[in-house]
Structure 1
């Protein structure tokens, strides 16, 4: 029987090693070792490990680095289950943020504090909370599959806390005056009808880019939103399904919208227009790039400012928020607006209401001023 440095007898299977203790035991013909700073701690570690072995909970450590496991997880478990855009997003965030920070670490060595430090570092470096959440989603999915596969015992991402939202993101929408001003000066642009349709439907930029003549259903009097265009490096623009399941939708086709669609149909003077051709395209019939869309928005704003008006810089997504704002101001019901916008939940639509309604609350209060 082993003794400690003072000559005291130690429990069976435990011996003193340097400043701590080592516990040894055999299970089904295989030797296992545990360590502790005290005899009691070592005994507990032995008991815990025996329990895991008896109940099939023990995971033998394998020297697999995160880079290797991430690639297996992405290609074997995700590639055929997620949208193309999601797959590309995972790759983008892993390669640009995660890889250099912890890609060379063994997955069994990554702990909750390592993930927490990653979050904290990203906050210091000025990353938006939305980006940090995507990083978290990639790591969580990757490690959760490793748990299912028996490569690690627990998911370290579950032990870290995402940073708090420091301030609510301001949703930018054009006022009625700004909207009228922009569309007046946009008449010179070859994307004039693009802007008009986006303002009148609330469609996302990618959905507008992917709109085809075959999606314009005059019989049903609707626009079928069935795809979005995404740019992939080295491949160009490819078609993908809309953002969420509810994003595949039909939007009512009003007379004003149809007028702009028909005008766009004739804009480039193509002799033959095929049903599978993109409605909004360049002079060669090719998809309009996101850069060209933003460039035309910037040129229009430049003309507005040159005329002496003060006008903020906006992006294509502002048109979607502007449509939602006008719809709310006109009294459109939340459930109807949710369907038209293709939101995945009513909460997202109600969030828009929370941003728009405060601007009109004084007017609403005046309506009931004489009731009391």
Structure 2
């Protein structure tokens, strides 16, 4: 109890002692997490992000729980990366854990518990190829889905919203008359960033389909003597939807959409990238694409991560010098004949 009081005093600045030696990573992590809980309570951080941080910290503390934070240097971080590689973890996971590790240590440094923040090189992440479907292929996939899931997948593909935004969407967020969908903070859902709070326009046909779905769901609830549903896309038993990957995989296989002889890998996030790609190909500028996706103005992520160059785009840019030569020779022969 005395140590708890001493540490709390040092962290709050109320102690006569400015520094405290021997503070373990476990002690620092506990207080850092307490601060993150307060951030969630005030809407500064999402609950899902807090849960993800807790999971990463569990792996880190498994190796450094009783280590003095002031003794953690670049060598320790590099050893941790090596340990996780040997454990079979992928580079992206290790980099995410290392980033959180540094975040906690930076917090400890700000509180005066360590002097120098260590530096560590990120592990190179192999470029993962992502193939997006064409609008024509998406129409085939939608035909292969059941009516309820087809509306959700169509909504994801046409609006480009994140899956959590779609799964928590309520009927009060849909203005079919003005053809707008509002992504707003609500109980149980916090937008990813402040730029995620936005209004997204939708097509007239999608607005009509959503209106019809709303009437049908309310009529079904009234017939069963139940309250009208709140969620636009509820799960099987009326609760929040969790995953549609199996339905997408089945529909892709049924539609026969392939890449390199294998069924196209389709997820809600790929649908988001597909929408960004389609709009980019149509010439929609980043200034319009970014607010639609919920990205910050001028964000580099939009083009570097979300816009994918398709094979057809590459094919359209092929240079055929032989065709140029033949055209030139043909023109010369025509002039000669004349």
Q: Which residue of 2 aligns with 1:317?
A: 269
* Partner SS for 2:276: helix
What is the CA-CA distance between 1:104 and the residue it aligns to? 2.5
Q: In structure 2, how many angstroms separate the alpha carbons of the residues matched to 1:240 and 1:354?
A: 27
Asked if the contact 1:59/1:152 (under 8 Å) is kept, the reply is no
Out of 204, 220, 235, the residue aligned to residue 282 of structure 1 is: 235
Q: Which residue of 1 aligns with 2:169?
A: 211
* Stretch of structure 1 that moved more, 112-121 or 296-305: 296-305
- The count of aligned residue pairs is 294
Quickly say closer, same or farther: Cα 1:359–1:118, change in 2 above 3 A.
Answer: farther
* Stretch of structure 1 that moved more, 75-84 or 188-197: 75-84
Q: Which residue of 2 aligns with 1:180?
A: 139
- Does residue 253 in structure 1 map to residue 205 in structure 2? no
- Does residue 152 in structure 1 map to residue 114 in structure 2? yes
Q: In structure 2, how many angstroms separate the alpha carbons of the residues matched to 1:191 and 1:176?
A: 17
Asked if the contact 1:59/1:153 (under 8 Å) is kept, the reply is no
Asked if the contact 2:132/2:273 (under 8 Å) is kept, the reply is yes
Asked if the contact 2:221/2:229 (under 8 Å) is kept, the reply is no
After superposition, the C-alpha distances for 1:97-135 in whole angstroms (9 at most, x for unaligned) are: 212121232222222100111123334444344323321
Quickly say closer, same or farther: Cα 1:357–1:304, change in 2 above 3 A.
Answer: closer
Q: Which residue of 2 aligns with 1:133?
A: 95
* Partner SS for 1:314: coil
What is the CA-CA distance between 1:316 and the residue it aligns to? 2.0
Considering Cα pairs closer than 8 Å and 6+ residues apart, tell me whether 1 or 2 has the greater RCO. Answer: 2
What is the CA-CA distance between 1:83 and the residue it aligns to? 2.3
Quickly say closer, same or farther: Cα 1:79–1:134, change in 2 above 3 A.
Answer: farther
After superposition, the C-alpha distances for 1:66-124 in whole angstroms (9 at most, x for unaligned) are: 112101111035642422222111111111x2121212322222221001111233344
Quickly say closer, same or farther: Cα 1:73–1:352, change in 2 above 3 A.
Answer: closer
Which runs of no fewer than 5 residues in structure 2 stay unpaired?
A: 1-16, 329-338
Q: In structure 1, how many angstroms separate the alpha carbons of the residues matched to 2:89 and 2:312?
A: 30
* Partner SS for 2:239: coil
Q: In structure 2, how many angstroms separate the alpha carbons of the residues matched to 1:138 and 1:282?
A: 33
* Partner SS for 2:284: coil
Q: Which residue of 2 aligns with 1:343?
A: 295
* Partner SS for 1:168: coil
Asked if the contact 2:156/2:162 (under 8 Å) is kept, the reply is yes
Scaled by the length of structure 1, the TM-score of the pair is 0.69
Q: In structure 2, how many angstroms separate the alpha carbons of the residues matched to 1:350 and 1:313?
A: 21
Which runs of no fewer than 5 residues in structure 1 stay unpaired?
A: 1-57, 229-237
- Does residue 294 in structure 1 map to residue 219 in structure 2? no
Q: Which residue of 2 aligns with 1:8?
A: none
After superposition, the C-alpha distances for 1:316-365 in whole angstroms (9 at most, x for unaligned) are: 21211221222122222222111111123531112257632674144256
Q: Which has the higher strand share?
A: 1
Out of 190, 202, 211, the residue aligned to residue 160 of structure 2 is: 202
What is the CA-CA distance between 1:219 and the residue it aligns to? 5.2
Quickly say closer, same or farther: Cα 1:267–1:287, change in 2 above 3 A.
Answer: farther
Q: Which residue of 1 aligns with 2:123?
A: 163
What is the CA-CA distance between 1:303 and the residue it aligns to? 3.6
Q: In structure 2, how many angstroms separate the alpha carbons of the residues matched to 1:353 and 1:321?
A: 5
Asked if the contact 1:183/1:196 (under 8 Å) is kept, the reply is yes
What is the CA-CA distance between 1:273 and the residue it aligns to? 9.1
